[in-house]
């Protein structure tokens, strides 16, 4: 934890803790978070669901999902002394929905998940949460805590739901009636027995737009996601070839997929981010597939410095772009770009380039 647990954490009476909970929300808002909640640490039901999901192999090659045993679902095992989880959310949407849909409909352009258009969010949110934890320590004295943002085995979505930040939508993302789902989550594990917030009720009703729109059928039922079919997994976490039957379904998406969020009725209420760090990089916002395939590794590293796309590596990036070009209409620019990569050192890239050229030839 951030500091060694001290007896003072137990010295606060209920009124003091309630005031502290109220203050936390005020401090979080000043730090750029749009909402904050506090959850208990009993994730028994979520642990059962995770175990079933892992047993069915739906995590694909993401072995780390099972690597930490029960630490993911038992916060006090990950950080001894934890009795509460403070969860905060920060909006990230920096483009309009119409722009995203227009981008998705243009087969010559690359579609990048909206969260990945600006700077990498991990450091930003961890730094803000650290400031929040420091402010908390200034108020109460030394306490035990640890800050997370997608950086450890943490069940961030179930914890956010239990903290009242929203409900779990049928696409498995957290939804809020006032904010939709375009937001990041971060957590502070703490030994302070803060009052917990009440979960919110679900408001998806009979709607199944997210299920029906999923390009690859990865949402197999309400709240059931098969990562092995998810375009976010296929283009980011997956380090090998994209399964051939799924390639035509990827479309022009080269990093992640937002379809389930773009059709969600609750996202009509989503608020645009005011964070400068979330502002889209123009090269990613307007980039064309044929140009992207020509990027050298040096240029890829330069353009993606401090950006989530760096996660794919240059080879994975070229793999994804080749597939997207293969899914587009035949053109001289696409063919020339693909032929220029037939001699790439990686067989992973070459195989996807050959597939794309074959698609281009058959559709000519």
Q: What is the pLDDT of residue 7?
A: 39
Mean pLDDT of 276-293: 95
What's the rounded Cα separation, in Å, for the pair 357 and 342?
10
Within a 10 A sphere around the Cβ of 113, how many other Cβ atoms?
20
From 13, 23, 134, 150, active-site residue: 150
Is the predicted pLDDT of residue 1 greater than 90, yes or no? no
The answer to whether 267 and 182 are in contact (CB under 8 A) is yes
- Of all residues in the chain, the percent with pLDDT exceeding 70 is 96
pTM of the shown model: 0.93
Chain segment 52-106, per-residue pLDDT in tens: 999 999 999 998 888 888 999 999 999 999 999 999 999 999 999 899 999 999 9
The answer to whether 145 and 3 are in contact (CB under 8 A) is yes
Is the predicted pLDDT of residue 153 greater than 60, yes or no? yes
Within a 10 A sphere around the Cβ of 57, how many other Cβ atoms?
11
Is the predicted pLDDT of residue 125 greater than 60, yes or no? yes
**150 assigned to active site:** yes
Mean pLDDT of 1-19: 61
Is the predicted pLDDT of residue 133 greater than 90, yes or no? yes
Q: What is the pLDDT of residue 269?
A: 85
What's the rounded Cα separation, in Å, for the pair 56 and 224?
12
Q: What is the DSSP letter of 199?
A: P
Please report, for residues 157, 200, 267, the alpha-carbon distance to residue 221 in angstroms, rounded to integers and kept in the order given: 18, 22, 21
Q: What is the pLDDT of residue 353?
A: 98
Whole-number mean pLDDT of the chain?
94
């Amino acid at each position: 934890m951030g500091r060694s647990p001290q007896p003072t954490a137990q010295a606060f009476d209920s009124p003091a803790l309630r005031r502290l909970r109220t203050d936390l929300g005020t401090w979080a808002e000043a730090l750029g978070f749009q909402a904050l909640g506090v959850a208990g640490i009993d994730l028994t039901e979520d642990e059962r669901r995770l175990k079933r999901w892992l047993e069915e192999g739906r995590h694909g090659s993401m072995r780390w999902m099972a690597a930490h045993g029960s630490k993911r679902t038992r916060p006090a095992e990950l950080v001894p002394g934890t009795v509460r989880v403070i969860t905060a959310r920060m909006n990230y949407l920096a483009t309009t929905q119409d722009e995203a849909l227009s981008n998705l409909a243009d087969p010559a352009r690359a579609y990048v998940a909206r969260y990945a258009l600006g700077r990498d969010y991990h450091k930003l949110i961890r730094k803000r949460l650290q400031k929040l934890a420091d402010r908390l320590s200034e108020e109460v004295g030394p306490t035990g805590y640890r800050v997370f943002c997608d950086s450890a085995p943490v069940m961030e979505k179930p914890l956010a739901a239990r903290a009242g930040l929203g409900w779990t939508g049928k696409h498995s993302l957290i939804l809020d009636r006032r904010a939709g789902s375009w937001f990041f989550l971060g957590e502070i594990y703490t030994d302070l027995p803060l009052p917990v917030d009440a979960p919110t009720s679900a408001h998806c009703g009979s709607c199944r737009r997210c299920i029906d729109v999923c390009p690859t059928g990865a949402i197999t039922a309400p709240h059931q996601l098969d990562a092995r079919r998810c375009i976010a997994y296929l283009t980011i976490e997956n380090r090998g070839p994209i399964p051939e039957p799924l390639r035509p379904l990827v479309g022009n998406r080269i990093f992640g997929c937002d379809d389930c969020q773009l059709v969600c009725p609750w996202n009509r209420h989503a608020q645009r981010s005011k964070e400068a760090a979330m502002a889209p990089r123009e090269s990613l916002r307007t980039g064309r597939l044929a140009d992207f395939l020509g990027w050298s590794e040096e240029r890829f590293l330069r353009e993606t410095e401090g950006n989530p796309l760096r996660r794919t590596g240059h080879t994975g990036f070229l793999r994804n772009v080749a597939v997207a070009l293969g899914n587009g209409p035949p053109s001289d620019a696409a063919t020339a770009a693909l032929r220029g990569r037939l001699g790439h050192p990686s067989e992973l890239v070459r195989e996807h380039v050959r597939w794309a050229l074959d698609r281009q030839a058959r559709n000519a």
